[in-house]
């Protein structure tokens, strides 16, 4: 696998980082993944995926400050890089293109305008 490949789990995590913004730290991301996908995940899988994507240059991270909540230790906040955005966009465009070629889905695409 070349260094620019984006796995399915990676892609979803990357999108969640974008969606969560300031709140994009591992624990929250894993939680959000479960809520949105209805699928279980583990904090470990989330962490290794985040680290891998940071190494690939799709994400960057920095430690935030501790909050004054019980157990509120410092969080590592992730943000998408320009490269990460580009890769996400390419992935989306490619998929849109395939869906539009598949008769069973092509018609459904129109209804998307309603989103």
Partner DNA sequence: TCATTTGTTACTAAATTGTAGAGTAAATAA
Partner DNA sequence: TTATTTACTCTACAATTTAGTAACAAATGA
d(CA 77, CA 95): 29
- Cβ proximity to DNA: between 55 and 109 the closer is 55
In the complex, least distance from residue 115 CB atom to DNA, rounded to whole angstroms: 26
Cβ 59 vs Cβ 17: under 8 Å: yes
Going by C-beta distance under 8 Å and a sequence separation of 6 or more, which residues neighbour residue 43?
Answer: 26, 27, 30
By CB under 7 A, residue 48 contacts DNA: yes
By CB under 7 A, residue 5 contacts DNA: yes
Interface residues with DNA (CB under 7 A) are 1, 3, 5, 7-10, 25-28, 40-45, 47-49, 51-52, 66, 68-76
């Amino acid at each position: 696998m070349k260094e620019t490949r984006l796995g399915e789990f990676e892609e979803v995590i990357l999108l969640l980082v974008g969606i969560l913004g300031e709140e994009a730290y591992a624990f929250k991301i894993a939680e959000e993944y479960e809520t949105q996908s209805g699928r279980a995940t583990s904090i470990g899988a989330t962490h290794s995926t985040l680290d891998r994507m940071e190494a690939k240059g799709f994400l960057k991270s920095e430690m935030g400050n501790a909050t004054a909540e019980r157990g509120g230790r410092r969080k590592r906040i992730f943000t998408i890089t320009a490269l990460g955005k580009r890769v996400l966009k390419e992935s989306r465009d490619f998929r849109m293109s395939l869906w539009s070629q598949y008769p069973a889905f092509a018609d459904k695409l129109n209804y998307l305008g309603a989103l």
